[in-house]
Amino acid sequence: MMGSHYVTYITITELFAAPVMYAAMACGAWTTAIISMERCICVLLPLKVKLFFTHRTTAVLLLGIFLYQAVVLFINFWAFSVKLETSQATNITNLVLDVSAFDERLNTLAYFYAITIPTVVCMCLNNMAPEYLTGMLRVYTPSRSLRSANDRTILVKPHKNYVAYGKRSFSYVAPTMWNRLPRYIRKSDSIESFKRQLKHHLFTTTYSRQ
């Protein structure tokens, strides 16, 4: 629940390993950025890229970025989230990670996407969205006479082989989130009614799990 206080006990190993793990995961994005910068230099400057971006230069850049992110994340964890707490029952001092503020930001972001993406899908199905978005969605039509044949609100979820990009694309995420909604929400007769029922459904299902 947003605004609540969440704590979790962590070990010294987890405290040091988490920033290193997140920094290593971010190096993939920085590698893509370096490659894009190399291509821009090729276009803008009549010079050979190898003069600037050698193997050694690229390795130094990635190492510097990795160390910088790891240090910043560790400082953020320690200064804002981690504290020492002594248990009254066992009299043992443990490291406690306070994730209330971070968890609240994640919940806010999740609610934003959980409302925005289905709303865009509803606009696409009602011809209220740009054509380039509408063209990404396709209503499911069964080849045989099935019970779901009368339900014209189910969308086709395309098969994506690449998790990094394919399953994060609008053409994959939108049908996935849309098909999970109850049928009465998908069959709303207006955008205002859809938003109202969607928000009520999300808050009801979320708080019922607390």
Token match 């779901």: residue?
148
Contacts of 158 (CB under 8 A, 6+ apart): 171, 172, 175
- Tell me the pLDDT tens digit for each residue of 28-74: 777 777 777 777 766 666 666 556 667 777 778 778 888 887 787 77
Cβ–Cβ under 8 Å, residues 179 and 155: yes
- Of 199, 205, 18, which Cα lies nearest the Cα of 99? 18
Query: Mean pLDDT of residues grouped by 10 in the chain (210 residues)?
Result: 47 67 74 72 63 73 81 68 60 58 55 84 89 87 63 76 66 89 89 90 73
Q: What is the reported pLDDT for 98?
A: 58
Both structure tokens of 208: 């019922």
Q: What is the reported pLDDT for 97?
A: 56
Q: Exposure of 200 by Cβ count < 10 A (0-12 exposed, 13-18 middle, 19+ buried)? A: exposed
- Tell me the pLDDT tens digit for each residue of 90-101: 665 555 655 555
Cα 23 to Cα 9, 20, 28, 71, distances in angstroms: 22, 5, 10, 9
Q: For residue 86, list its beta bridge partners.
A: 93
112 φ/ψ angles, rounded to the nearest 5 degrees: -60, -50
Q: What is the reported pLDDT for 1?
A: 40
Provide the whole-model pTM.
Answer: 0.48
